[in-house]
Amino acid sequence: MLPIAAENLYGFHKQQRVFRDALSSSKLHHAWLFTGEMGIGKATLAYTLAKQLIGKPQKIIAGSHPDFLAIDAWYNEGESRKKPTISVDQVRKLNSFMQMTAAEADRKVAVIDGVEYMTIGAANALLKVLEEPPLGNVILLICHALHKILPTIRSRCLLLKCHPHNFEDYYNALRITLPMLDWHDAERLYDFCGGNIGFSLQLHAAGGIKLADDLRELALTGGDLRELMQFFDQWTLDAERWDLMKNITMKALIDHIKSHPLQSERALSKLREVQNFFAEVDLFNLDKQHAMIHLSGIPI
């Protein structure tokens, strides 16, 4: 289910309270920046608040609300992109949208998901919108990597830091998509994924905890070439599974650093090496099966 279509919101109690207090005091800031790791539900939070601001949620979901605009780095006019990006033309559309008078609500609201994927031209165009905000209108920005956002953009937004859910909120949110998930499996997913719902859904769809355990073992200890080939030959590493492989591998290394503080310097060196390696694989579109086999052979 896409975040815009979510009917229920779990967690984010502090963030909702901060937003409601600002709204009730008539001091609602024109730009809010939701930041935190990918997959924890920031977009669901932003779309929920947008619906509360202008009402008529079914129109928002259908894309027919005249006072609502959504810009998504991963989708353009309903079609998924091969590579996430937000263009200058999209932000210019936002500028024009914000200048118009609200038609059905008291204000206009825009949600921009994946702000860190803006082109330089798009970032400069957004900065112009933020510098001269139309009175009463609101822009909700969603960011997964705050360090990639221009300081001049950050300084014009109110920052709402979002964190993974506690177990109760996590379990209730997860059961919307996985109604048959039992408590024990949910606890294992929660412990492994750190309360990240998006990561948990990816992992469950790809084979669950056993897959994660197997890959963690390979990532940390390596294996002989035949064993590695047998493991990765089971996989067709499409974009979603490749992202999952990267997430599991990085989490295995981070968990290793936390549990072996005396080896932290060595493990941090490998973590940086793995990050650079993944970036090269993505940049040059290298063979992903061979990449994972090579990675599993890098000693820790």
Block mean pLDDT (10 aa), the chain, length 300: 89 95 90 94 96 96 96 84 91 94 95 96 95 89 93 96 94 91 88 87 76 64 55 59 75 75 75 85 80 62
pLDDT value of residue 137: 95
pLDDT value of residue 298: 52
pLDDT value of residue 300: 46
pLDDT value of residue 281: 85
pLDDT value of residue 279: 84
Q: Residues 61-75: pLDDT tens digits?
A: 999 999 999 999 998
pLDDT value of residue 205: 80
pLDDT value of residue 197: 92
Contact 102, 74 (CB under 8 A): no
Q: Residues 11-51: pLDDT tens digits?
A: 999 999 999 999 998 889 999 999 998 899 999 999 999 99
pLDDT value of residue 294: 72
pLDDT value of residue 239: 67
pLDDT value of residue 250: 78
What b/e string do you get for 242-281 counting C-beta neighbours within 10 Å, with b at 16 or more? bbbbbbbbebbbeebbeeeeeeeeebeebbeebeebbeeb
Question: What are all long-range contacts of 128-132, with beta carbons under 8 Å and residues at least 24 apart?
Answer: 128/95, 129/91, 129/94, 129/95, 129/98, 130/30, 130/31, 130/156, 130/157, 131/156
Instruction: Please state, in angstroms and as integers, the Cα–Cα distance from residue 236 to each residue in 241, 242, 292, following that order.
Output: 8, 9, 12
pLDDT value of residue 107: 95
pLDDT value of residue 212: 66
pLDDT value of residue 287: 81
